[in-house]
Chain A
Amino acid sequence: AQSVTQLDSHVSVSEGTPVLLRCNYSSSYSPSLFWYVQHPNKGLQLLLKYTSAATLVKGINGFEAEFKKSETSFHLTKPSAHMSDAAEYFCAQNTGGFKTIFGAGTRLFVKA
């Protein structure tokens, strides 16, 4: 069965320091991979997506993710955290068809 694993349930960083949120996906020939962000009491918003073009994907708000097939990873990074980045982040995978599998989420805390 396909699965998406987010390796950390919580990540805490200081404002201005780098962010790393880790995600591993199920091996698949040509996955589509996504990162979504969810602020409190809001729906999910797409940050970025990988669809077999460039392996380094740039998204909104300074986030980017690198697709590494050999490691089946799609980690999300940002060079410098901002207080407004505090939210829940979900990694997701689609392998064709209409079903997208979501990870359990990583809650990001940003300390002043």
Chain B
Amino acid sequence: GAGVSQSPSNKVTEKGKDVELRCDPISGHTALYWYRQSLGQGLEFLIYFQGNSAPDKSGLPSDRFSAERTGGSVSTLTIQRTQQEDSAVYLCASSRTSGVDFTEQYFGPGTRLTVT
């Protein structure tokens, strides 16, 4: 596709349930990033993928959060046993890994997660 896509756009879930958020990066972008944006806050880095491996998981807030990427393309962020403090917009971005523009990240529209 032309840009980064994310699904679902909105997700309402009950506390304690598991959720999966999906990201489809721009074709050919080997780097993929997940961020969390809470109300009135900046972007909180969660995890970064280079291909299918995640050299930097330092931002994952707890062991309830995990992410994977398959085929160097689609990524899934999973939150287990959701808590109300997980409510936020989850943004995905992708970038190239070589060339002058490799640090420029292209963002998807985000998934708004509400935990009730």
Chain A residues touching B, majority SS: strand
The answer on a CB contact under 8 Å between B107 and A45 is: yes
Whether A98 and B31, one on each chain, are in contact in the complex, defined by CB atoms closer than 8 angstroms, is yes
A94 to B100, CA, bound (A): 13
What is the total number of residues of chain A having a CB less than 8 Å from a CB of chain B? Answer: 21
The answer to whether B107 touches A102 (Cβ under 8 A) is no
Q: Which residues of A have CB within 8 Å of B108?
A: 43
Q: Is the CB of B107 within 8 A of A34?
A: no
Q: Would you list which residues of chain A between 12 and 41 have a CB under 8 Å from chain B?
A: 32, 34, 36, 41
Assess whether B31 is in contact with A102, with CB atoms less than 8 Å apart: no
B38-68 interface code vs A (CB 8 A; 1 in, 0 out): 0001110100101000011000000000000
Q: Is A77 in contact with chain B by the CB < 8 A criterion?
A: no
Q: Which residues of B contact A (CB under 8 A)?
A: 4, 31, 33, 35, 41-43, 45, 48, 50, 55-56, 91, 93, 95, 97, 100, 103-110, 112
- A sample of 14 more A-B contacts (CB under 8 A), given A90-B43, A98-B55, is A32-B103, A34-B104, A36-B107, A43-B4, A43-B107, A43-B110, A44-B93, A49-B104, A98-B56, A98-B95, A98-B97, A99-B45, A99-B48, A105-B42
Taking Cβ atoms with an 8 Å cutoff, the residues of A that contact B are 32, 34, 36, 41-46, 49, 51, 90, 94, 98-105
The 6 closest A-B pairs by CB, nearest first: A43-B107, A104-B42, A102-B43, A44-B107, A94-B103, A43-B109
